[in-house]
């Protein structure tokens, strides 16, 4: 997923505010699932939500006003009711890695009771996990 950095994303020095990276990662996760046929709103209507239960980010270099970034997402661990994804934010013009994060999502009911990941999502994640290894 591509992200353009606008003035509103930055501080007075033109550097992206650190909390905005979390927004970019969230959008990329949503688009990751959407591009594979799984709409977050539809999953919720069917009783499956995926709250973040752990997030770890390493900031490597700053993103700046007007940068065009690429955010990638790939699974690194699939459990019975959770999945851990690796996400990377790279500046497109020079390929520099700006941030890398690992996010763990739990599969729950809307009432936040743990549920098993739906089989069709599990199959997709496991197939992609095999490609990564």
Compute the average pLDDT of residues 96-100.
98
pLDDT at position 131: 82
Cite the active site residues. 11
Structural domain including 61 reads: 2-132
The domain that holds 71 is classified in CATH as 3.10.129.10
92: tokens are: 């497109």
Nearest to residue 131, comparing CAs of 90, 83, 54, 76?
Answer: 76
The more confident residue out of 129 and 32 is 32
| Euclidean distance between CA atoms 131 and 133, whole angstroms | 6
Strands (E), the chain: 2-4, 52-59, 68-78, 82-91, 97-106
What's the whole-model pTM score? Answer: 0.93
Give the pLDDT band of residue 130 (cuts 50, 70, 90).
confident
Q: Are 87 and 72 in contact (CB under 8 A)?
A: yes
Distance CA 104, CA 12 (A): 32
Q: Is 20 exposed, middle or buried (0-12, 13-18, 19+ CB in 10 A)?
A: middle
Domains contained in the chain, number: 1
Q: pLDDT tens, 27-79? A: 999 999 999 999 999 999 999 999 999 999 999 999 999 999 999 999 999 99
pLDDT digits (tens, 9 = 90+) for 2-25: 999 999 999 989 999 999 999 999
């Amino acid at each position: 997923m591509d992200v353009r950095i606008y003035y509103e994303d930055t501080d007075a020095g033109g550097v992206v505010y650190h909390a905005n990276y979390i927004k970019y990662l969230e959008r990329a996760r949503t688009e990751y699932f959407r591009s594979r046929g799984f709409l977050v709103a539809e999953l919720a209507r069917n009783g499956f939500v995926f709250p973040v239960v752990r997030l770890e980010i390493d900031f490597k270099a700053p993103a700046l006003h007007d940068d065009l970034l690429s955010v990638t997402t790939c699974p690194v661990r699939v459990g019975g009711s959770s999945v851990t994804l690796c996400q990377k934010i790279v500046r497109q013009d020079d390929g520099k890695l700006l941030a890398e994060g690992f996010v763990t999502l739990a599969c729950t009911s809307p009432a936040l009771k743990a549920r098993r990941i739906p089989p069709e999502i599990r199959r997709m994640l496991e197939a992609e996990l095999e490609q990564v290894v």
